[in-house]
Amino acid sequence: MNLLSILGVFSSAIFSGTSLLYTTLGEVIGERSGIVNLGLEGVLLVSASSGFAVTVITGNPYIGVLVAVIIGGLMNMILGYLIIHRKANQLASGLALMFFGFGLSALIGKSYVGAKINALPRIALPGLENLPKLYSSLLSFDILIYTAIPVAFLVWWLLFRTRWGLGLRAVGENADTAYASGRDPRLIRYQALFLNGLLAGLGAAHLSIAYTMTWTEYMTAGRGFIAVALVIFSRWHPLRAIVGALLFSGAVAFQLLLQSSGVQVSPFLLDTIPYVLTVLVLIAWGGNRRHSAPASLGRVYHGTE
């Protein structure tokens, strides 16, 4: 263990935690409005492939990120139509969206597998530009990493410090009461889902355009589900989501550090960490009113006709 390897765990945690954080933040907003989005995995894939494809075509990673974000929002509108308009079951609709995403992303990304892109440029932390490349490359981050934590605070502010956020949380607790107080639960849920999709799109863009610089089928490898677990771990709070995302990606990076220094730990065991943490959180705070799930989570709003 030397300075470089410890720094490396830290750097890897940030790099691979960023896409998780954005996705988790999106899901926090969605679940706060009462919607569980099990389709996130599919949304991430479609955003990642379309963002990557557009980056290849235009040669401009920023346009790619923009497209990934918009596509994320639109993908979630499919879910919105199913569960808000058609009043379909949330879990079933989410899973359908996920499978749809598997197929669609493969179709979109097919001709771009193996393409080389201009990735999002990495900017070294100020004052560290003159370190040897081995070190400075660990501490050069792209713009999406620098904005991740501010976005978490923005989400927190939106949810807990604005009237819109109050309305959104009210819909998640009891949509009928929110309706009675003059809010439109359907509109608010559409808005929440759209934001959920935008943030998932940012996460996906970071994965394909900034970090791995490639597109392959199923490259998200379960990150959509890890995000759902991390939402529970963070007890539906955007700031705790930062800790969750860093903890999880840090655990992966630590396992790789152990492996590369000749210590063998089962990676399969470590892969269960986010879910074990989730179970522990549920055991500790499951019945606590202050930390419980939004009361209407997963319920279909039938309106008041």
Binding site for another protein (CB under 8 A): 2, 4-5, 7-9, 11-12, 15-16, 19, 78, 81-82, 86, 96, 99-104, 106-107, 110-116, 119, 122, 133-134, 137-138, 207, 211-214, 216-219, 221, 223, 252-253, 256-257, 259-262, 264, 267-268
Return the number of the residue (134 or 283) whose C-beta is nearest another protein.
134
Closer to another protein by Cβ: residue 96 or 199: 96
Gap between the Cα atoms of 275 and 178, Å rounded: 33
- Amino acid letter, residue 209: I
Question: Whole-number minimum distance, CB 142 to another protein, in Å?
Answer: 11
How far apart are CB 92 and another protein at their closest, in Å? 11
**Which CB sits closer to another protein, 131 or 158?**
131
Give the nearer residue to another protein in terms of CB position, either 22 or 211: 211
Q: How far is the CB of 163 from another protein (least distance, A)?
A: 33
Q: Considering the complex, what minimum distance in angstroms separates the CB of residue 30 from another protein?
A: 20
Residue 81, burial from CB neighbour count under 10 angstroms (0-12, 13-18, 19+): middle
Residues 269, 272, 274: CA angle, nearest 5 degrees: 140
Least distance from another protein to the Cβ atom of residue 106, Å: 4
- Compute the least distance from the CB of residue 264 to another protein, in Å: 5
Tell me whether residue 227 or residue 293 sits nearer to another protein (CB atom): 227
Q: Annotate the chain with DSSP letters as a single string.
A: --HHHHHHHHHHHHHHHHHHHHHHHHHHHHHHTT---TTHHHHHHHHHHHHHHHHHHHS-HHHHHHHHHHHHHHHHHHHHIIIIIS---HHHHHHHHHHHHHHHHHHHHGGGTT----PPPEEEPTT-TTS-HHHHTTSEEEHHHHHHHHHHHHHHHHHHHSHHHHHHHHHHH-HHHHHHTT--HHHHHHHHHHHHHHHHHHHHHIIIIIIS----TTTTTTHHHHHHHHHHHTTT-HHHHHHHHHHHHHHHHHHHHHHHTT----HHHHHTHHHHHHHHHHHHHTT-GGGSPPTTTTPPP----
Q: Cα separations (Å) of 264 from 11, 125, 255, 256, 257?
A: 22, 33, 8, 9, 10
Nearer to another protein, 267 or 286 (CB): 267
Rounded least distance, CB 6 to another protein, Å:
8
Smaller CB separation from another protein, 43 or 168: 43
Indicate the residue among 96 and 232 with the shorter CB distance to another protein: 96
Write down the least CB distance from residue 21 to another protein, Å: 13
252: Cα separation from own chain's centroid: 17
